[in-house]
Structure 1
Amino acid sequence: MIRKRSLVRRTAAVAAAGAAALVLAACGGDDGSSAAGHGGHSTATASASTSQGQHNAADVAFAKGMIPHHRQAVEMADLAPERAQSAEVKKLAADIKKAQDPEIKTLSGWLTSWGEEVPADGAMDHSMHGMDGMMTAEEMTELENASGKAFDTAFMEMMIKHHEGAVEMAKTEQADGAYAPATKMAEEIIASQSAEIEQMNQLLGKD
């Protein structure tokens, strides 16, 4: 029907076919909706699947950096029940652990699904110390040896620094990441940890 050697006729035929498709789609009503709907659904599902599975180097860096970062925050929080004097500090530590433990599992799952290596548990990357708010071994020892009001102050001062590092990492992920669940987690980290920074600053101001 369409003669390929005639560009004019081919263009006209394509335009006519497009118009016919529009008319059919408009007039098809319920009869045509199932086929059109099925096709649309398949395309949307494939698109969503591609979007969900897409990740880049920034997403990998975010997961690999945030896992040891979160692990150290949980380690710090674990010290609070026995050492903290303030009930508010104890609750804050419990909230931090409750939020970050599941995120560690989620981040690890992402890395595994991407074929990437999950940072070894307990193996701290020394290059991270002093970066992104990570505590040094000396600072962790100082916190372990503190108790009462001194622990409360040291814990909050260190955790503010730690949270600020996490917020910066999350902002980088938001700017550069491609994996939607990771950028969503980054958004949640920014919101929750910024609120906790504000809370800790207020508590320190009361002392």
Structure 2
Amino acid sequence: MSAQRRFVRRTVLAVTASVAALTLAACGGDGDGKASSGSRTTTGTGGHNAADVSFSKEMIQHHRQAVEMAGLAAGHASSAQVKSLATKIEGAQAPEIRTMSGWLTSWGEQVPEDMSGMDHAMSSATPGMMSEADMGKLEKASGTGFDALFLTMMVEHHEGAVDMARTEKADGKYRPATELAAGVITAQSAEIAQMDKMLGKS
């Protein structure tokens, strides 16, 4: 009986060791989710690269300015269509800011400070970003004047976002980021067409 117990115990220990070895192998031998290269990976999404980081940081700032512009519509716009569009833009882009901020944090990258309303380097370096002077004009406008300026500026802003998203689709590696970029292209291209129509361009 004693010999049988020893046999059973050795068998259990062997099975346990095998399971542990398989588990470690499945995890790539690194318990913190890092690949051997040192870059973080997420199951089913693959790793990320420098293009993903740049896209996330720049698009966060780009989206923040769009949300700031959209926030002015409620008190300045005269058109119900403009107000509705602004609400839609804010509702779509604010959650994306949180999503991209989460990616940067998980990658050990710094989330950019909120520079809304400030004239900083990104205004000229990032496609479609408005300058401080542009934002000042929009803040001072009202009624139909605001409507026309808002739509004109937002078309340019969206066109910049679409350009950035196309670059991410081409150069990015992190699947959720390239999928978000694809969504930006689809949604904002449709909104550009809508705004052009509202401006009488089509």
TM-score range, shorter chain: 0.7 to 0.9
Query: Does the Cα contact within 8 Å between 1:51 and 1:179 map onto a contact in 2?
Result: no
Task: Provide, for residues 43-71 of structure 1, a one-character-per-residue CA deviation record: whole Å limited to 9, x for no partner.
Answer: 7xx9x945524000000000000001000
Q: Which residue of 1 aligns with 2:63?
A: 70
* Correspondence for 2:87 among 82, 90, 94: 94
Query: Which one-letter code corresponds to 1:145 in the other structure?
Result: K
Query: Which one-letter code corresponds to 1:104 in the other structure?
Result: I
Query: Which one-letter code corresponds to 1:74 in the other structure?
Result: V
- The 2-side partners of 1:185 and 1:196 are apart by 16
Shift of 1:87: 0.4
Mapped pair 1:119 → 2:112:
yes
Number of equivalenced pairs: 167
After TM superposition, the structure 1 = structure 2 runs for residues 104-183 of structure 1, keeping only pairs within 5 Å, are 104-122=97-115, 126-130=120-124, 131-183=126-178
Q: 1:115 to 1:83 in 2, by over 3 A?
A: same
Shift of 1:121: 1.9
More helix by share: 1
Larger mean Cα displacement after TM superposition, 127-136 or 74-83: 127-136
- The 2-side partners of 1:190 and 1:108 are apart by 20
Query: Does the Cα contact within 8 Å between 2:82 and 2:147 map onto a contact in 1?
Result: yes
Q: Which residue of 1 aligns with 2:19?
A: none
Unaligned runs of 5+ in 2: 1-21, 27-32, 34-40
- The 2-side partners of 1:99 and 1:90 are apart by 14
Query: Does the Cα contact within 8 Å between 1:160 and 1:200 map onto a contact in 2?
Result: yes
TM-score of the superposed pair, with normalisation by structure 2: 0.76
- The 2-side partners of 1:68 and 1:193 are apart by 16
- The 1-side partners of 2:60 and 2:190 are apart by 21
Shift of 1:125: 7.1
Unaligned runs of 5+ in 1: 1-38
- The 2-side partners of 1:177 and 1:125 are apart by 28
TM-score of the superposed pair, with normalisation by structure 1: 0.75
Secondary structure, counterpart of 1:117 in structure 2:
coil
- The 2-side partners of 1:80 and 1:89 are apart by 7
- The 1-side partners of 2:46 and 2:172 are apart by 12
Secondary structure, counterpart of 1:205 in structure 2:
coil
- Bigger radius of gyration: 1
Shift of 1:126: 1.7
Secondary structure, counterpart of 1:129 in structure 2:
helix
Query: Which one-letter code corresponds to 1:126 in the other structure?
Result: H
Query: Does the Cα contact within 8 Å between 2:127 and 2:164 map onto a contact in 1?
Result: yes
Backbone CA RMSD of aligned residues: 2.5
Query: Does the Cα contact within 8 Å between 1:143 and 1:155 map onto a contact in 2?
Result: yes
